[in-house]
Amino acid sequence: MQSFPGAFGNTVQIGIPVATALFGEAGLGIHIALVSLHALVLLSVLTVVVELDVARARAAHDASASLWRTLRSTVRNTVIHPVVLPVLAGGLFNATGLPLPAPLDETLQLLGTAVAPLCLVLIGITLAYTAGRAVLGAVRGALGLTAVKLLLQPALVLVVAHWGLGLGGLPLQVAVVMAGLPAGSNALIFAQRYRSQESEATTAIVLSTLAFVLTAPLWLAGLARLA
């Protein structure tokens, strides 16, 4: 849980506008495809790992708990997870190729416009209700997570994708910029759901978002030299 902000980026609220502005419709299509895989894999794996840990902790205090009960609880909580379930549902519906009815599409778009402001409010409320010492204590860890998210992760993606897989051009640029996005608000949602590392997640989101203004031009300049 502690390392999640360093792995999961803000690929929607910041990533989609950035990809559209920098790479146009072609880049946005690549970005959306990566977002779907990124969210599905990371969120599912993290949920399974955390739910297994929670179930194991419960089993340690419940002598009647069995392996089957632990696995059943883990699978159920993973599937109905408020973050994972929408990703799975959206992916399955998209695979059908069916269009959304116009009224439903407009309603979902209207709800979607509230996501970014609500996430900002959530982060602000969390900071307001977090003790000052807790925030200060979280800064050191958050700085490390920020460095991992904005510097180490895109560097690894660049090395593996370009020199390892031979990727270049627009796909490489989109992948590296996506890897260098700041920590996403899902990290805070997970932290609050499991009551763990809330101040660290909040601080990492704020710091990485501010630092992204400085690191993004550096990565774009480096990618331009590879083009």
Domain count, the chain: 1
> Which residues constitute the domain of residue 162?
4-226
| Dihedral Cα 95, 112, 79, 188, nearest 10 deg | 140
From CA 194, how far away is CA 65, in angstroms rounded?
Answer: 21
* 134 or 56, which is more confident: 56
Q: How many CB atoms lie within 10 A of CB 39?
A: 23
Whole-number pLDDT of residue 215: 94
Whole-number pLDDT of residue 22: 92
DSSP letter assigned to residue 183:
B
* 42 or 29, which is more confident: 29
From CA 54, how far away is CA 41, in angstroms rounded?
Answer: 20
Average pLDDT, the chain: 80
Determine the length of the chain. 227
Mean pLDDT within 61-80: 69
Poorest-pLDDT segment among 68-82, 172-186, 199-213: 68-82
Whole-number pLDDT of residue 67: 64
| pLDDT classification of 99: cutoffs 50, 70, 90 | confident
Mean pLDDT within 121-149: 72
Percent of the chain with pLDDT over 90: 20
Whole-number pLDDT of residue 217: 93
DSSP letter assigned to residue 164:
I
SS3 readout for 49-92 = HHHHHHHHHHHHCCCCCCHHHHHHHHHHHHHCCCCHHHHHHHHH
Q: pTM for the full model?
A: 0.77
From CA 99, how far away is CA 222, in angstroms rounded?
Answer: 40
User: Which pLDDT tens digit goes with each residue over 150-164?
Assistant: 999 999 999 999 999
Residue 194 has pLDDT above 70, yes or no: yes
